[in-house]
């Protein structure tokens, strides 16, 4: 009990990716979600400041979360960082 070694594990920091703020936004987001599903590694998708994310988060994000949680990918929106956090659900 006293001489137990500490595990030398590190948390995986998500890779950071920039998303476009034009009509290509949804296509790029799906591409990154598929990558998370395939590699099972977390990903952080940053959004540009000129993109109006408030409207998209209120209207579309709940539907996207519902669809992708069934497919084992969690989508979280962080307001201050203006980023989506994509993680694989075991």
Residue 58's CATH number? 3.30.110
- Whether residue 9 lies inside any domain: the answer is no
pLDDT at 84: 94
- Whether residue 4 lies inside any domain: the answer is no
pLDDT at 1: 59
Distance in angstroms (rounded) separating the CA atoms of residues 41 and 14:
7
Domains: count for the chain:
1
Instruction: Give the tokens for residue 37.
Output: 């599903």
- Whether residue 3 lies inside any domain: the answer is no
- Give pLDDT tens digits for 25-77: 889 999 999 999 999 999 999 998 887 778 888 999 999 999 999 999 999 99
* Residue range of the domain that includes 23: 15-88
């Amino acid at each position: 009990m006293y001489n137990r070694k500490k595990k030398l594990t590190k948390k995986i920091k998500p890779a950071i990716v920039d998303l476009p703020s034009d009509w290509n936004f949804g296509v790029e987001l799906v591409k990154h979600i598929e990558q998370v599903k395939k590699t099972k590694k977390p990903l952080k998708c940053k959004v540009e400041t000129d993109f109006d994310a408030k409207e998209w988060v209120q209207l579309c994000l709940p539907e996207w979360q519902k669809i992708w949680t069934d497919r084992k990918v969690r989508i979280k929106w962080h307001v201050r960082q203006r980023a989506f956090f994509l993680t694989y659900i075991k």
